[in-house]
Structure 1
Amino acid sequence: MPDTGISELVRMWIDGWVVSRGSADPVDEPWGWTIDVGQPKHVARHVLPEPSEADVRKIVDATSAPGTWLKLFAEDQVVLPWVGPDWRCDLSGFLMSCHLAPERAEVPAGYTLTSWTRGGVSRVLVRTSAGHFAARGQFARAGTHAVVDQVETAAEHRRKGLGSLVMRTLQSAAHEAGATTGLLVGTPEGRALYSSLGWTMRSPMASLWYEPSDSAP
């Protein structure tokens, strides 16, 4: 996807993310999109693919609801001076993409893999032979792209190839479903895994949420 601009990439990611999370449809804004998520600590999010200081400050000044998030596709150090002390910084994120192709994924000894699709979301679950949770992940297809989401490996089962198993299974399933491009927002911890599987970093993403001091538990 060498010719795809950041705004188009972010919109493609949003199209799959809202399906994956069961959120409301994104609402177009002059600076990007607003999405109602509807969770107590994640009421809504504002997504700015090319954030400017003026736009961010305007959103910050208008925000009064705790649990409002900002997803700003820029480095943390660039955008942090634009928000006040009541905004908390989450882990840095990275928008990444890859060309989808059939993948070979072998389940390590001592584990089982289950997959299913419901409501437009395909999920993969890895458990131990005793049934204990080990790893998971999911994707939602939107047109020719698939958005990979909520990839997680339990701490006690890391460094055993389960993250790669989940990702290869999701990538192959997305390809079989007709998607040609994969998109995700990964954490610093996951970036090395995704890069080893052919994913390319397209943009950093700063993630912040509003939690005024008088609303903290």
Structure 2
Amino acid sequence: MPDIRINELVRMWIDGWVVSRGSSDPIDEPWGWTIDVGQPRQVARHVLPEPAEADVRMIVAATSAPGTWLKLFAEDQSVLPWVGQDWRRDSPGFLMTCHLEPERTGVPAGYTLTSWTRGGVSRVLVRTRDGHFAARGQIAHVGDQVVVDQVETAAEHRRKGLGGLVMRTLQSTAYEAGARTGVLVGTPEGRALYSSLGWTMCSPMTSLWYEPSDAAQ
């Protein structure tokens, strides 16, 4: 895969994320982008691909709405001193990319797989034979790339290859639709799975949300 600057990768990610989540179009800012999400616990998010201290402090000083999020593509220890005690830290994230190839998939015994595409989003659902939820995931199609989102496996069905099944199915779906580049932000738990499927880590991401002490009571 040719080298892609961090700004371009982050823009690919948010372009797909807003399609996947049905959020507003990104608003260009001097330091990155703002996205109106419109949920009670996530009103908006500010995304900074290369966060500078002055920009982060400016955003923090201007923030008064609980549920405002910061997505900072940097190690947490470098950016946490720039925010105050009213900013809560979420689990770390990892920006990852992959050159997509067709994948071989096989559904383990005892499970069924359903997939569908609607509104630019392809979804995969894995259930037990009696219909219980086991795993899921989705991709948003944006040009010749896709963004992977909301991959999860129920606790009682982990370590059975279902996460890999979901990802390989999504990657094949993307390839068949003409996409050749995949982008995602993974959790610490998901990073090992994605790495085993050929995904490369490009940047850490620190995720923070604003919750003043009086709002938490």
After TM superposition, is the score higher than 0.5?
yes
Mapped partners of 1:59, 1:112: distance in 2: 46
**Which blocks of at least 5 consecutive residues in structure 2 are unaligned?**
none
Match of 2:33 in 1: 33
Structure 1 SS opposite 2:160: coil
Question: Partner of 1:104 in structure 2?
Answer: 104
* Equivalent position amino acid for 1:196 in 2: S
How far, CA to CA, are the matches of 1:86 and 1:183 in structure 2?
31
Partner of 1:214: 214
Question: Residue in 2 aligned with 1:6?
Answer: 6
Question: Counterpart in 2 of 1:193?
Answer: 193
The one-letter code of the counterpart of 1:147 is V
Hey, which bits of structure 1, 4+ residues long, moved more than 2 A?
none
Question: Which residue identity lines up with residue 64 of structure 1 in the other structure?
Answer: S
Query: What is aligned with 1:46?
Result: 46
- Alpha-carbon distance in 2 for matches of 1:34, 1:170: 28
Of all paired residues, the percent bearing the same amino acid is 83
Residue 187 of structure 2 corresponds to residue 181 of structure 1: no
Separation (CA, whole Å) in 2 of partners of 1:170 and 1:179: 11
The 1-side partners of 2:214 and 2:130 are apart by: 45
Amino acid at match of 1:126: V
The separation in 1 between residues aligned to 2:141 and 2:119, in whole angstroms, is 11
- TM-score after normalising by structure 1: 0.99
Question: What displacement does 1:107 show?
Answer: 0.4
Q: In structure 2, the residue corresponding to 1:66 is in which secondary structure?
A: coil
- Once the two structures are TM-superposed, the CA of residue 2 in structure 1 deviates from its matched residue by 3.7
1:97 and 1:80 map into 2 onto residues whose CA distance is 26
The two structures have a TM-score, normalised by structure 2, of: 0.99
* Number of aligned positions between the proteins: 217
> What secondary structure, in the 3-state scheme, does the structure 2 residue paired with 1:174 have?
helix
Q: Which residue of 2 aligns with 1:162?
A: 162
What residue number does 1:90 align with? 90
Q: Deviations over 1:54-85 (max 9, x none)?
A: 00000000000000000000001111110000
Could you say what the CA RMSD is over the residues aligned between the two structures, in angstroms?
A: 0.6
- Counterpart-to-counterpart distance in 1, 2:115 and 2:53: 43
CA distance in 2, matches of 1:157, 1:69: 31
